[in-house]
Amino acid sequence: MHIVHSISDLRAVLGPLGRPAFVPTMGNLHDGHIALMRRAVQLGEVPVASIFVNRLQFLPHEDFDSYPRTWDADCERLAAAGCQVLFAPRERDLYPEPQTFKILPDSQLADLLEGEFRPGFFTGVCTVVMKLFSAVFAGKTSGIAVFGQKDYQQLMVVRRMVQQFTLPIDIVANPTERAPDGLALSSRNGYLSASERAEAVALSRALRTLGEAAKAAGDALPAQREALEQAARAQLNARGWQTDYLSVRRRSDLLAPKPGDALVVLGAARLGPTRLIDNLEI
Ligand code: AMP
């Protein structure tokens, strides 16, 4: 596996190689990330990963400084999964000067759910993804990027960005990897104490229960949705969580569902200081 830090070294390594199949990450890799990497390898292109903790997508009070960094283990796991090139820019490689040009995503999609509770988050995500894409895919006529469904709204925002800027990049979605008890794998799970870890599965259970209630409501869902969501939030909060949202949306645009729409349930909640997100297509 080639490990490169600067954009010029990345371009030198990728130049003679074929189409990249690219997996952007913030490191502290777990089986969810590795599943994305394996998917990239299966695609038969040049498997490329990046590790970069992107300051731009963290709010001032969030965990940028304490975000877990596990460089040696990450390198080992990526190499074992078949990664051919690892791009690990330093801050000065991606942001040599303050990033004053930014990608402003469609507010209809990016200002709700995660965007409501983490204002500016998707601007930070889109801006860094655009910079990573321009570093990795420079000089290529096309490529592939693999994202996890764990970050459902992020995946939709990135897809729309790629579509609106007509980037020649196919976005491939990989399903959410879970622990045996159902907890979605996340770098932030490492923040949980033993008792919090045991409780953490309640988030995916709450999504499942809300999803079942939404399905049972059938055509009455639009009328009942808010009450169902409120009950789900109250139940999770009663267990000691602070719920940002638990919501049934339509898959196409994450707006309120109408009868017949394909549905997804999305949630974000804090357990102690740790904020977890998850979702379930139903
Ligand atoms: P992150 O390092 O958290 O920025 O995530 C990098 C990529 O891994 C994103 O595309 C995430 O959606 C994806 N990812 C994170 N956790 C999981 C998971 N449990 N299952 C599948 N993909 C995941």
The per-residue pLDDT for range 110-153, each reduced to its tens digit, is 999 999 999 999 999 999 999 999 999 999 999 999 999 999 99
> What tokens were used for 186?
């996340």
Q: Compute how many other C-beta atoms are within 10 angstroms of the C-beta atom of residue 213.
A: 19
pLDDT for residue 128 = 98
> What tokens were used for 123?
């601007």
What is the whole-number distance in angstroms between the Cα of residue 191 and the centre of ligand 1? 16
- Closest ligand 1 atom, residue 28 Cα: 2
The single residue listed with the structure tokens 């490492």 is 190
> What tokens were used for 173?
């979605």
Could you give the percent of the chain with pLDDT greater than 70? 100
pLDDT for residue 6 = 98
Strands 263-271 and 274-281, sheet pairing = antiparallel
Could you give the percent of the chain with pLDDT greater than 90? 100
Q: Whose CA is nearest to atom 14 of ligand 1?
A: 148
pLDDT for residue 173 = 98
Residue among 33, 71, 279 whose CB has most ligand 1 atoms within 8 A, to mutate: 33
Write the CA distances from 26 to 69, 97, 282, integer angstroms.
9, 21, 29
The sign of the torsion formed by the CA atoms of 36, 77, 150, 181 equals: positive
- Closest ligand 1 atom, residue 149 Cα: 12
Quick check: 50 and 132 in contact, CB under 8 A?
A: yes
Q: How confident is the model at residue 180 (pLDDT cuts 50, 70, 90)?
A: very high
pLDDT by residue (tens digit) across 220-233? 999 999 999 999 99
pTM to 2 decimals? 0.97
Residue among 151, 152, 279 whose CB has most ligand 1 atoms within 8 A, to mutate: 151
Q: How confident is the model at residue 204 (pLDDT cuts 50, 70, 90)?
A: very high
Q: Whose CA is nearest to atom 10 of ligand 1?
A: 147
Q: Which helix (H) or strand (E) holds 170?
A: strand 169-174
Q: How confident is the model at residue 188 (pLDDT cuts 50, 70, 90)?
A: very high
Q: How confident is the model at residue 15 (pLDDT cuts 50, 70, 90)?
A: very high
pLDDT for residue 36 = 98
Q: Which helix (H) or strand (E) holds 248?
A: strand 241-250
Chain mean pLDDT for the chain: 98
Quick check: 84 and 47 in contact, CB under 8 A?
A: yes
Mean pLDDT of 188-192: 97
Q: Tell me if residue 33 is catalytic.
A: yes
pLDDT for residue 78 = 98
pLDDT by residue (tens digit) across 38-86? 999 999 999 999 999 999 999 999 999 999 999 999 999 999 999 999 9
Q: What angle do CA 116, 222, 271 make, to 5 degrees?
A: 40
What is the whole-number distance in angstroms between the Cα of residue 259 and the centre of ligand 1? 31
Pocket of ligand 1 (CB under 6 A): 25-26, 32-33, 35-36, 147-148, 150-151, 174, 176-177, 184-187
Mean pLDDT of 167-185: 98
